[in-house]
């Protein structure tokens, strides 16, 4: 049975770090819509220019665009055995589209990572990203000036300054919280505490996935 997993949580909850670890544990691809969109930005396509403007002001890319991005990615052979989705869905419209996309591919497990807002703001203000490859700096890179993956310079993301951080958290509360409520009634929805260490969060996350599948 395919392992179809969605990680939910606000910006700064650690979804990217945990999605990468969980995907490696389960031997399925981590699908990050953020990475896919940043790739478009780096390539300088017309779509990339539009995405750059939206991301810089902390907004969300349109549902139709995100659905098509995910549809194409899920059609690739490596996703046949399942996936860990990070950054999608973010709206109820996207959630309903995802259900249609995975119909017949096995059940969908949704894990919500919860972190207090004050901690989210602190994390986002301190977060760095590689200026070369666009990947968020890993927790073990604290104090480093260069990306552990490619050696590029670590810089603050344009959407992680204090003003944009506040806007991003407001956008999440307004647009994405209804999605959380949509999923909470589902039998395969689970919550984990994301305020602990990355190792502690991962242990809870792996147990939540296993428990949901029993």
104-133: pLDDT as tens digits = 999 999 999 999 888 888 877 777 788 888
Taking residues 161-172, report their average pLDDT: 78
Grouping H, G, I as helix, E, B as strand and the rest as coil, residue 10 is coil
Average pLDDT, the chain: 85
In a domain, 131, yes or no: no
- pLDDT category at 189 given cuts 50, 70, 90 is very high
172-187: pLDDT as tens digits = 888 788 898 999 888 8
Whole-number CA gyration radius for the chain: 16
28-86: pLDDT as tens digits = 999 998 787 887 788 787 777 877 888 788 777 888 878 888 888 898 899 999 999 99
The catalytically annotated residue of 21, 90, 123, 190 is 90
Residue 36 in tokens: 């896919």
The reported pLDDT for the residue numbered 78 is: 95
The reported pLDDT for the residue numbered 71 is: 86
Burial of 47 (0-12, 13-18, 19+ CB in 10 A): middle
Structural domains in the chain (count): 1
In a domain, 152, yes or no: no
Q: Which domain holds residue 24?
A: 3-116+176-212
Whether the bond into 175 is cis, omega within 30 of 0 = no
Express as a percent the part of the chain with pLDDT over 90: 37
In a domain, 46, yes or no: yes
Query: Cα dist. 49→64, 134, 160 in Å?
Result: 17, 15, 19
The catalytically annotated residue of 15, 30, 73, 123 is 15
In a domain, 11, yes or no: yes
In a domain, 35, yes or no: yes
The reported pLDDT for the residue numbered 208 is: 95
Whether 80 and 4 have beta carbons less than 8 Å apart is answered as no
The reported pLDDT for the residue numbered 27 is: 95
In a domain, 156, yes or no: no
In a domain, 79, yes or no: yes
Known catalytic residue: 15?
yes
Known catalytic residue: 127?
yes
The reported pLDDT for the residue numbered 141 is: 55
The reported pLDDT for the residue numbered 190 is: 95
CATH number, position 192: 3.40.50.300
The catalytically annotated residue of 168, 174, 188, 190 is 168
90-108: pLDDT as tens digits = 889 999 999 999 999 999 9
In a domain, 149, yes or no: no
The reported pLDDT for the residue numbered 158 is: 64
The catalytically annotated residue of 52, 127, 146, 188 is 127
């Amino acid at each position: 049975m395919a392992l179809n997993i969605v990680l939910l949580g606000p910006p700064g909850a650690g979804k990217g770090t945990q999605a990468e670890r969980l995907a490696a544990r389960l031997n399925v691809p981590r699908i990050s819509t953020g990475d896919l969109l940043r790739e478009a930005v780096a390539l300088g396509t017309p779509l990339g220019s539009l995405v750059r403007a939206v991301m810089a002001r902390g907004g969300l890319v349109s549902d139709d665009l995100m659905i098509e991005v995910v549809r194409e990615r899920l059609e690739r052979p490596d996703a046949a055995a399942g996936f860990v989705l990070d950054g999608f869905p973010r709206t109820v419209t996207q959630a309903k589209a995802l259900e249609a996309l995975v119909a017949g591919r096995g059940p969908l497990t949704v894990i919500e990572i919860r972190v207090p807002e004050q901690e989210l703001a602190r994390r986002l203000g301190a977060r760095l990203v590689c200026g070369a490859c666009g990947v968020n700096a890993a927790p073990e890179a604290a104090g480093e000036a260069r990306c552990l993956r490619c050696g590029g310079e670590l810089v603050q993301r344009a959407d992680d300054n204090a003003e944009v951080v506040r806007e991003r958290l407001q956008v999440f509360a307004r647009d994405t919280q209804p999605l959380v409520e949509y999923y909470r009634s589902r039998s395969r929805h689970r919550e984990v505490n994301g305020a602990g260490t990355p190792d502690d969060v991962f242990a809870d996350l792996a147990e939540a996935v296993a428990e949901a599948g029993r």
